[in-house]
Amino acid sequence: MAQSLMIIGCGPGGYATAEYAAKQGLRVTVFEKAEAGGTCLNRGCIPTKVYCHAAGLVLDNANASGWGLWPSPSQPGVDFGRLHEHKEAVVAQLRQGVETLMAQPGIELVRGAARLKDDHTVVCNGTDYTADHILIATGSHPVMPRVEGIDNARVVDSTGLLALNTLPKRLVIIGAGVIGMEMASAFSAFGTEVTVVEFLKECLPMADSDLAKRLRRSLEKRGVKFYLQAAAKSVSTEGVSAPDSAALTFTQKGKDFTVEGDIILAATGRGPNTEELGLEAAGIDFDRHGIKVNDCFETSVKGVFAIGDVNGRMQLAHAAEAQGRVVVDAIAGRENHMKMSLVPWAVFTTPELAGTGPTEDVLKATMTGEDRPQVVKSYYRANGKAVTMDATDGLVKVIAAPDGRLLACHILGAHAADLVQEVSALISVGATLRDLDAVIHIHPTLQELL
pLDDT at position 76 is 56
In a domain, 168, yes or no: yes
CATH of the domain at 192: 3.50.50.60
Write down the pLDDT at residue 67. Answer: 82
Does 162 share its domain with 286?
Answer: no
| Domain final position from 233, 267, 301 | 267
Is 44 labelled as part of a ligand binding site? Answer: no
Query: By residue range, what is the domain housing residue 443?
Result: 351-449
95 neighbors 87 (Cβ within 8 angstroms):
no
* 3 state SS of 408: strand
The verdict on 262 and 222 lying in the same domain is: yes
> Is residue 182 annotated as involved in ligand binding?
yes
Question: Does 247 belong to an annotated binding site?
Answer: no
Same domain, 251 and 283: no
Q: Are 115 and 177 members of one domain?
A: no
pLDDT of residue 69: 80
- 81 annotated ligand-binding residue: no
Whole-number Cα distances in Å, 174 to 24, 184, 220, 244, 376 = 44, 11, 16, 19, 34
What CATH number did the domain enclosing 437 receive? 3.30.390.30
Residue of 8, 15, 19, 93 lying closest to 317 (CA atoms): 15
Query: Would the annotation count 178 as a binding residue?
Result: yes
Residue 271 near residue 256 (C-beta atoms within 8 A): no
- Closest to 295 in 3D by CA, of 357, 333, 340, 342: 340
**Is residue 346 situated within a structural domain?**
no
> Smallest Cα–Cα separation from 415: which of 325, 349, 342?
349
Q: Does one domain contain both 380 and 311?
A: no
Q: DSSP class of residue 445?
A: S
Q: Are residues 137 and 277 in the same domain?
A: yes
Reported pTM = 0.95
Q: Cα(first)–Cα(last) distance of the chain, in Å? A: 50
Residue 266: the pLDDT is 98
Give yes or no: residues 297 and 441 share one domain.
no
Inside any domain, residue 342: no
Give residue 35's identity as a one-letter amino acid code: E
Does 276 share its domain with 183?
no
**Are 125 and 177 within one domain?**
no
Predicted pLDDT at 40: 94
Query: CB-hemisphere CA count at 13 Å for 318?
Result: 10
Q: Are residues 23 and 66 in the same domain?
A: yes
Q: What is the pLDDT along the chain (450 residues), one digit of tens a residue?
A: 689 999 999 999 999 999 999 999 999 999 999 999 999 999 999 999 999 999 999 998 887 777 878 765 555 579 999 999 999 999 999 999 999 999 999 999 999 999 999 999 999 999 999 999 999 999 999 999 999 999 999 999 999 999 999 999 999 999 999 999 999 999 999 999 999 999 999 999 999 999 999 999 999 999 999 999 999 999 999 989 888 999 999 999 999 999 999 999 999 999 999 999 999 989 999 999 999 999 999 999 999 999 999 999 999 999 999 999 999 999 999 888 788 888 999 999 999 999 999 999 999 999 988 899 999 999 999 999 999 999 999 999 999 999 999 999 999 999 999 999 999 999 999 999 999 999 999 999 999 999
Q: Does residue 443 lie in a domain region?
A: yes
Cα atoms in the Cβ-side hemisphere of radius 13 Å centred on 293 = 26
Do 263 and 293 belong to one domain?
A: no
Half-sphere exposure of 68 (CA within 13 A, CB side): 0
Report yes or no: 260 and 186 within 8 Å, Cβ to Cβ.
Answer: no
Q: How far is it, in rounded angstroms, from Cα 119 to Cα 277?
A: 12
Sheet hosting strand 107-111, strand order edge to edge: 107-111, 27-32, 4-8, 133-136, 304-306
Note whether residue 341 is domain-resident.
no
Among 86, 120, 415, 443, the active-site one is 443
For the chain, what is the domain count? 3
pLDDT of residue 73: 55
Which residues in 206-245 belong to E strands, given as ranges? Answer: 225-227, 230-236
In a domain, 344, yes or no: no
> Binding residue per annotation — 175?
yes
In a domain, 399, yes or no: yes
> Within a domain: residue 224?
yes
CA dist 13 and 138 (Å) reads: 9
| Contact between residue 400 and residue 433 where contact means Cβ atoms under 8 Å apart | yes
Annotated ligand binding at 394? The verdict is no
- The edge-to-edge listing of strands for the beta sheet with 127-130 is 114-118, 121-124, 127-130
The last residue of a domain, from among 267, 295, 316: 267
Q: Is 441 noted as a catalytic residue in this protein?
A: no
Q: Which of 248, 267, 286 is the last residue of a domain?
A: 267
Q: Are residues 247 and 288 in the same domain?
A: no
Residue 245 labeled ligand binder:
no
